[in-house]
Structure 1
Amino acid sequence: MTQTTQQTQTQTQTQTGTAPATLVIGGTGKTGRRVAGKLTALGRPVRIGSRTGEPPFDWNEPATWGPALEGVDRAYVTYYPDLAFPGAAEQVGAFAEAAVAAGVRRLVLLSGRGEEAAELSEQNLKDSGADWTIVRCAWFNQNFDESFFVGPVLAGEIALPTAGAVEPFIDTDDIADVVVAALTDDRHIGRTHDLTGPRLLSFADVAAELSKATGRGISYVPVSTEEYRAVLRENGLPEEIADLFELILDGRNAHLTNGVEEALGRAPRDFADFAREAAATGVWNA
């Protein structure tokens, strides 16, 4: 941020009596809505970056970026469907440059573990000149109660191309706490937080935990990548999602980190605790 931009932003805030807002891109999603809620609880102004937001934000419509960035001094950046998808790095880089030009001084990017394509987005965001933090995450616990795995859990059969591979599933509340810390505490500037849950689980292990939590039988069924691509096509979802399972199959993420402890000074939430609390909401009642 240039000195002139900073002075202009400060003068505008003084004249209007309003504090700068935090833009939460994907503010209605799994991590974004939690980040927005936690920031609001801290008394910090929040602007939701979504197509239904006011003003609207759309990754594919750069003309919407400027209005969404007006009066903002920091942003939580999430990209849908995933940073590994073609074109993501270019869009994230262009947005980061636009944000800095608009007076945004801090950017926190949600990224994925072991995704080389996502690292291009990370670098483009760093090159913008903003104060940055990267939050790399394992697969979300909440994929099973808020996303595309809800249907299979309800049906009692999780069919995925993962064989016996393991993943250190992370809870989105832990992610949101780390993101809020990165947005509000200067100690996180220039750091990359690699976040995992406390143990490695195969999808068969996940099915067993869900069975225990719901009190009914839920099984894991291994399928081929091509079979899973067909399921994605039938449901109108991007076939590239199937490629993300390769990150599990090759074992690159089959290890734990102490990222949550380093960032927050506490242990991450276990999948069993998540499953028990989610089941109590009735989301998996057949």
Structure 2
Amino acid sequence: MARIKKINFTKSVLTKNTGFIFLCIYIGFILVFSGLFTLYSDEFYHTTIKYENSVQDTYKYIKDEIELSIKKNFIDINNGQTAYLDDEQGWILDINDLYVTDFNADGRNLNISLVVYLFNKGTSATGWIQTNDKFQLHSYGGSLKSNSEIHTFYFRLINETPTNLTDLGYSKIELDRIFTIKENKVCSIKLPMEVSRKLKIFVDSLNGLPYGLKGTYKRMLYLSMVTITTLGYGDIVPITNRARLLVGLESVLGIIIIGLFISSIFNKLSNNARE
């Protein structure tokens, strides 16, 4: 008898709180699918990720680290912060007057834009060199997927140096002297592996695959919420059959749970009206 009463009491509680139960199930599905999306985050393409603050922060970090690496390498080569950049021993570079203004990269190549301010010891003239899209440092060796602690990019200078020094009667500046590393005598830049790793993450993010970027779970939680409500903004889209199946399944379950939730509310209102 007591068992029957307990069963009846449980049924009564479930009946009165059906709407709340469906709401909990609905939220549970959001959390479960966000976890699944995070697990398979590399199977989703992000169309707007390049505009996120985390990508911009990564870009700034890499740019600053590239500049720092160039300066450290220069000091190591020249045993100091200054060196001549021409055979006539005229133009001097203080490495503190070198700035990385921009960079871009793909799976193998790293292109860097610089501004370099120079001083001529003989004439006391000053000048500057600024690289642009037509003049870049181009990696033709190695890959971003390096496993060593230091990742070395080997460069060749693509075009002649664009410089305003021509107006001063001198333009024979050899920029490769900024990058030449002692042991291999070629234009190079050494990046710490952590910087190289973030560079790969940055490149992947620009290609719409930010699975190595921080905030993955938050993005997948957002995707789960817009999927279960069938909003589907299209800023994150599945690119594999498994991901498409998960997205489709959550959409269907969302529709079913919402239908059951609304039905339970109407049933409760109807029962209250009869009473």
TM-score, normalised by the number of residues in structure 1: 0.24
Greater relative contact order: 1 or 2 (C-alpha under 8 angstroms, separation 6 or more)? 2
**Structure with the bigger percentage of strand:** 2
TM-score, normalised by the number of residues in structure 2: 0.24
Larger Rg belongs to: 2
